[in-house]
Amino acid sequence: GQQLNQSPQSMFIQEGEDVSMNCTSSSIFNTWLWYKQDPGEGPVLLIALYKAGELTSNGRLTAQFGITRKDSFLNISASIPSDVGIYFCAGQTGANSKLTFGKGITLSVRP
């Protein structure tokens, strides 16, 4: 089945640093999404990407939809303590509504 790969499993950065996360797939997706999950909560949508090559920003977050439609990256600039959480990428083929999620990257920010 379809799989999204996120690595490493955990990242540790200093407050104020930038961080970049990648997500790759062996399958093509027509929509890429990035979610953040806090402990005990559901995922919250950060950025949605609908076109290959698209670069989209949301505050300190920037994400790009890879030109091959098989990858995406998320950048967080000038990290702050509340950026701590698990970041998931998700892909959608478009023919149906289900999302395929990666396993997530746990981000820790040292003050």
Partner 1 sequence: NAGVMQNPRHLVRRRGQEARLRCSPMKGHSHVYWYRQLPEEGLKFMVYLQKENIIDESGMPKERFSAEFPKEGPSILRIQQVVRGDSAAYFCASSPVSGGANYGYTFGSGTRLTVV
Nearer to partner 1 by Cβ, of 4 and 107: the residue is 4
| Cβ at position 14, least distance to partner 1 in Å | 24
In whole angstroms, the minimum distance from the beta carbon of 96 to partner 1 comes to 6
Q: Which stretch binds partner 1 (CB under 8 A): 12-20, 58-66, 71-79, 89-97?
A: 89-97
Q: Sign of the CA dihedral 90, 64, 69, 5?
A: negative
**String of b and e for 5-19 (b: at least 16 CB within 10 Å)?**
ebeeeeeeeeeeeeb
Does 81 bind partner 1 (CB under 8 A)? Our answer is: no
Among the listed residues 15, 10, 25, 23, the one whose alpha carbon sits nearest the alpha carbon of residue 88: 23
Give the interface with partner 1 as residue ranges (CB under 8 A).
4, 9, 31, 33, 40-45, 48, 50, 88, 90, 92, 94, 96-104
